[in-house]
Chain A
């Protein structure tokens, strides 16, 4: 493939008016595919002779495995094999750990070895001729347990004398790091007030519509395992799997089906399933399939980081926050499988959305007898944003100020952009005040404050809550070096391939996989723009294949990176291809390249009006190749790997690094009414104003923001992974684990104000995770509503049951 050593690319035009195809709300054609049941998901992939796997799960939160008797299970007709942790331990290495020793000594296998550490942990994997028999057989694996003392709270887990989960570590600390940025102690000393409180975020799950799944086949002729999975970052997960199975990555073919039914971060640590199924397919020399059932997905699919903060803010009497000093403890669950990355990811939003340069954070993460945590939409930043939004309300209460005013006073100003935070994050433009004021107008803030006064006189409980959050996107892997300087990754990259087929159709591929983000439409618009031709001439080929498709090691749809990273890579690849197309056309037409332009699936001469369709150029490039310019390589394929410059690319000794490329932001406002008898909470109004940067397709961006808003509402008012003191998960199916659907969605008043990102090539910002905006605005609104009752809230999840009990305790 022709490669230029250096990319010389014109910056994307500054105004959206300069674009013809990008920036328009092109209807999302691929939405119809799943709606009509035509999607090809993992479970739709069928290979003759496939065997099915099911797990035997731990019924305990913490217990010693004394004995596993598989004899009854093996007697069941149709059962082919039972795999236990003991066998795996003898044939694989434990997964690599991100954290350095001593917690890096932790031994993690996909099946429990010696003991179980969380409710629902896989203990054995049974393979049978169909999925029904596999599930029946999994029940027949007889495991003798000896229950052990349980610890579910992260602060308890770090106390002397706590039950220890991993003996090879010696205690439950996964990692501890201190960020001492600016001078927070001095700020506290000089403050007029110190506002102090504890803030907790609760545990919930990603809950994609499609659960995780794996289908693996083994090809004996070339000793290669083909893995069909839904992993969000297949080539990043692959070394983890291959390292454990002691096989080179080239002996693995990683494939993702064309459709993945949502992920929200919950399809990264599913590499444990991939390992087991791949191992079994090679051992049994047969295709093996496993698809998580809903309870398995809820129990251990991926939980988000549960965190407690003890915070002191330094506050001037005018309401200006001058410093923040806090201790944070993160609950990792039983195994760090992407953790302790979450212990640094929060640092993408150190000061939140506010201009605070003195920040001290003492951050610890602990293992507990709960399910493993990992990325869940807004990974680790939701918690930090929520903390800021709760604390801003505390400041307002202390100073008897309007919470809107306190926020306005502390927001980073437009003239400070791009803003360098105390940890060297570079907030890439925006007008936070404009967005904030637009939100206040949108929800009619002043009017509701008046209504609230009236309502209170009548005994009604109405509250108004605000939340302003940063939604960072397109991560820099170097931030993980803060945890472990030997972590072998930094920066980021993504790949784009654009080609023209023999008939002249533009074909685009990237290494990211669509999980519902409308890649085909969005990326099609980028290629259309470069070639100045309608989307009907562009085909985006979806689905990942490490053999036949393009990839970079970081490829994937996670961290709100697809538009920023893959979009840019495709933009570059398309520009490179256009250069070649123009060269061929100039040669064929006998004109100067500078007189030619690409337009409507052809190259047109601005001088002579002569026109050469892309189909004719394709014939020259692919077939009639002796007519090409003498030294030109045949073919019409272009490939670009985009590696952004984060300015502060590597962390320094003070843990300062620019963690992500873009920082979008959103302001949420909620008006709630709490029923004074039943304590049910009803959203009367919810407004969002966000700045996603330049929108390649405004419809797609709006859909993402709506989804993130509903996810936040669901987190605040419904979803809660509740464990009892024995470590038993009480909410492991949809009877008890409540997820908001369209019916629970209030009318959302959504507005965007657009400022271009100062750091991304196309001016776009990553969006879709949303920063957990609604969680803060809802909790603040409910607490505001309950103010006449003097009820103080602690957690990010609310239930009427809990409010009733608080109201009746006094």
Chain B
């Protein structure tokens, strides 16, 4: 339960960090260590070099509003995302997703940047940020760029980050008339989750104007239920459309199986969660 030997870098600037990561192919950035440290201790994954980034000024925890956009810095911990007032007010699906990550100790250490950079389909925040149409702020040796979250997740543990690029934060436009919900099923807080769903719908007079749905542990990457989103547009939210949406969101899924959930069971859970999320939003609207 001890990691293999590795070389630890502590760069002074973001630029230095990017250059280190670019020039050392096997180097990995370390933020809160939520995923990397356990993998290294189990010797599942053993990078030869580690670049510490958590101390860099550009990354420091922080959430701010810039006009109609919320900007969240990379090192913002899950606990901070959970309790931040701006996020609770405008992006409740993100707050709920952060609250449902593991246990308090892990929420105190784990960061939003690390959660997304890991490229793991079982990270809560990935589904929430997909539902919110977030932009990933990446900084590399050639400067800054914004990557739409839809284009970010390429394959299992593989993202659109170029060599040397580091996530410095996220931008999310505040959705209008939005109703959001995150739901998750897990056997134990610290176990691999069984399934989760993040929903963000824009409603006008009970009619869905726009919908974004993020699904967790449903495929090799975090994914959206685009077909279901399309279907839901301009529909009245009711039992019939909810059932149909859940059906469309999950019918073609081939989720992974493990000791705690077969692919079929996981698919069923995604379907149930989809229904429950929408039903809970319908209840909200009625009140």
Contact = CB atoms under 8 A, between A and B. Distances in A.
A801 B190 contact: no
A738 B269 contact: no
Interface in A725-747: 730-731, 733-736, 738-740, 743-744
Contact of A735 (B192, B262, B269): B192
Contact of B265 (A730, A731, A744, A805): A805
A51 to B, nearest CB: 15
Interface string B246-279: 0000000000001111101100110010000000
B5 interface: yes
A805 B262 contact: yes
B191 A804 contact: no
Contact of B261 (A131, A139, A733, A801): A801
B4 interface: yes
Contacts of A731: 259
Interface centre among B194, B259, B262, B268 (most CB of A within 10 A): B259
A135 interface: yes
Contacts of B189: 743
Interface residues of A, number: 30
Contacts of B187: 718, 738, 799-800
A503 interface: no
A734 B272 CA distance: 27
A293 interface: yes
Interface in A794-810: 799-801, 804-805, 808
B188 interface: yes
B7 interface: no
A804 B262 CA distance: 10
B265 A135 contact: no
Interface in A633-680: 677-678, 680
Contacts of A135: 1-2
B38 to A, nearest CB: 8
Contact of B188 (A136, A677, A744): A744
Contacts of A197: none
B192 A804 contact: no
B185 A136 contact: no
Given A677-B272, A718-B187, A734-B190, A799 B1 contact: no
A294 interface: yes
B1 A136 contact: no
B285 interface: no
B154 interface: no
Interface string A766-810: 000000000000000000000000000000000111001100100
Contacts of A131: 2
A293 B260 CA distance: 23
A739 B272 CA distance: 26
Nearest to B190: A734
A295 interface: yes
B259 A800 contact: no
B156 interface: no
A680 to B, nearest CB: 7
B42 interface: yes
Nearest to A679: B265
Interface residues on B, range: 20 to 34
B208 to A, nearest CB: 23
A804 B1 contact: no
Interface string B169-188: 00000000000000001011
Nearest to B185: A678
A795 to B, nearest CB: 15
A808 B265 CA distance: 10
A136 B4 contact: yes
A799 B4 CA distance: 35
A736 B42 CA distance: 13
A294 B1 contact: yes
B265 A804 contact: yes
Nearest to B191: A738
B40 to A, nearest CB: 12
Contact of A736 (B260, B262, B265, B269): B260
Contacts of B4: 136, 139
B264 A799 contact: no
Nearest to B259: A730
Contacts of B192: 735-736
Contacts of B261: 801
Nearest to B266: A801
Contacts of B269: 678
Nearest to A291: B1
Contact of A293 (B1, B5, B191, B259): B1
A731 B192 CA distance: 12
A168 B214 CA distance: 59
A295 B260 contact: no
A678 B272 contact: yes
B246 to A, nearest CB: 11
Nearest to B103: A743
B260 A799 contact: yes
A680 B273 CA distance: 13
Interface string B221-265: 000000000000000000000000000000000000011111011
A801 B265 contact: yes
Most buried by A among B2, B3, B4, B38: B2
A722 interface: yes
Nearest to A134: B2
A735 B264 contact: no
Nearest to B192: A735
Contacts of A736: 191-192, 258-260
Interface in B187-208: 187-192, 194
A131 B1 CA distance: 10
A725 to B, nearest CB: 14
Contacts of B258: 736
B264 A808 contact: yes
A136 B46 CA distance: 12
Contact of B185 (A293, A680, A730): A680
The 8 closest A-B pairs by CB, nearest first: A293-B1, A738-B188, A677-B272, A804-B265, A730-B259, A801-B265, A135-B2, A132-B2
Interface of B: 1-5, 38, 42-43, 185, 187-192, 194, 258-262, 264-265, 268-269, 272
30 contacts: A131-B2, A132-B3, A132-B5, A135-B1, A135-B2, A136-B4, A136-B5, A293-B1, A295-B1, A295-B42, A677-B272, A680-B185, A734-B190, A735-B38, A735-B190, A735-B192, A736-B259, A738-B187, A738-B191, A740-B188, A743-B189, A800-B194, A800-B265, A801-B260, A801-B261, A801-B262, A804-B262, A804-B265, A804-B268, A808-B264
Given A295-B1, A730-B259, 9 more contacts: A678-B268, A734-B190, A736-B258, A736-B259, A736-B260, A738-B191, A743-B189, A800-B194, A801-B261
Interface of A: 131-132, 135-136, 139, 293-295, 677-678, 680, 718, 722, 730-731, 733-736, 738-740, 743-744, 799-801, 804-805, 808
